[in-house]
Amino acid sequence: MKLNKGMRAFCLLMVMALLGAVFVPVVSAEEIKTTNETTGISIYEILELKEPIITKGSQWQSYNQNSENAVKLISLSGLKIENDQIIGYIEGENEKALLYKTGEDNYYIILEDNGIISIDKAELKDLGSKIITSPVKGGLPETTTEYLLKEISLSNTKSKEFSSKSVYSATITRTDRWVYLGYTSATLYTKGTFTYDYGNQILGISDSSYTSQDVGFAKCSFDHSTRITGITGYVEADVIWSVYSVSPPKHSVDAWISCNYYGTTGGDSNHSDWVAVGGLGCLALP
């Protein structure tokens, strides 16, 4: 008889409860080999696209690099724009422009041309997407990484100086699974959107990492964050799960993804398994 997910989780829970009542296991932690590392792969190569050409002249700046002039331009426009909506700011000989986002996939620029303010919608182009599966390594289940690339172009705006300028948005989602007793019990999704001016700098990172876990499994801790080091941006996530039983098996994943301002991506993860002592589920130590 084939068990559904709910019955399977209930049976696993009962088995672990019985085992926990009979045995007091010795704490043991075994580091499993890392999964396949995907460092150094160009998103343009993955999607079979031609790499952009680095444009000459003015370059995009992040909000933090030129917040004073960005705030002035926003004030002149009369708009209310939050800092996390701002993508970048750029200055030319006669023009200034601020690129910002409103809602899902809606990008606009505030353009100042010799003192005249106008607002234009930037063109968003879907350049492609692809999912890559990494083979099993070191006893771990296979991982998947999804790549999605978009271009935010000013070619259709009123700007004369910045019409050739674009910003790129690469969304990467890495999936790491905990397979327990032959079934996927929990999953970590390390997800980030890297916005960059090609060949110039990372303008921002949006972290959307999350987890899922089956019935009978608990999420004991979950942390995720972003950082920029040199030309590369990172999203890092770590999670600890536990079987919901006395003296339970536990599993942790430490994962990261990256993208630099040339669109070169990377990612890896470490998995650990151990058996905790004493309490129920996450309350058991360590």
pLDDT band per the 50, 70, 90 thresholds, residue 135: confident
Q: Break the chain into its structural domains and give their ranges.
A: 31-46+123-283
Residue 155, class by beta-carbon neighbours within 10 Å (0-12 exposed, 13-18 middle, 19+ buried)? middle
pLDDT of 29 reads: 43
pLDDT of 31 reads: 46
Q: What is the pLDDT averaged over residues 262-270? A: 95
Residue 113 in contact with residue 158, Cβ under 8 Å? yes
Q: What is the pLDDT averaged over residues 114-128? A: 96
Rounded CA-CA distance 132/41 in Å is 12
DSSP of the chain, one letter per residue? ----HHHHHHHHHHHHHHHHHH--PPPEEEEEPP----TTEEHHHHTT-PPPPPPPS---B-GGGSHHHHHHHHHHHT----GGGEEEEEE-SSEEEEEEE-STT-EEEEEEETTEEEEEEPEEEEEEEEEEEEPP-TTPPPEEEEEEEEEEE-TTSS-SSSTT-EEEEEEEEEEEEEEETTEEEEEEEEEEEEEEETTTEEEEEEE--EEEE-TTEEEEEEEEEEEEETTEEEEEEEEEEEESSBS-EEEEEEEEEEEETT-EEEEEEEEEEEE-BSSBGGGSB-
pLDDT band per the 50, 70, 90 thresholds, residue 104: confident
Q: Provide the residue count of the chain.
A: 286
- pLDDT tens digits along 14-59: 444 444 433 333 334 444 444 445 668 999 999 999 999 998 889 9
Query: What does the mean pLDDT of the chain come to?
Result: 88
- pLDDT tens digits along 149-183: 999 999 999 999 999 999 999 999 999 999 999 99
pLDDT of 38 reads: 61
Residue carrying the six token digits 């941006």: 233
Q: Which residues contact 223 (CB under 8 A, 6 or more apart)?
A: 237, 238, 239
Rounded CA-CA distance 168/133 in Å is 24
- Token pair belonging to 51: 């790499």
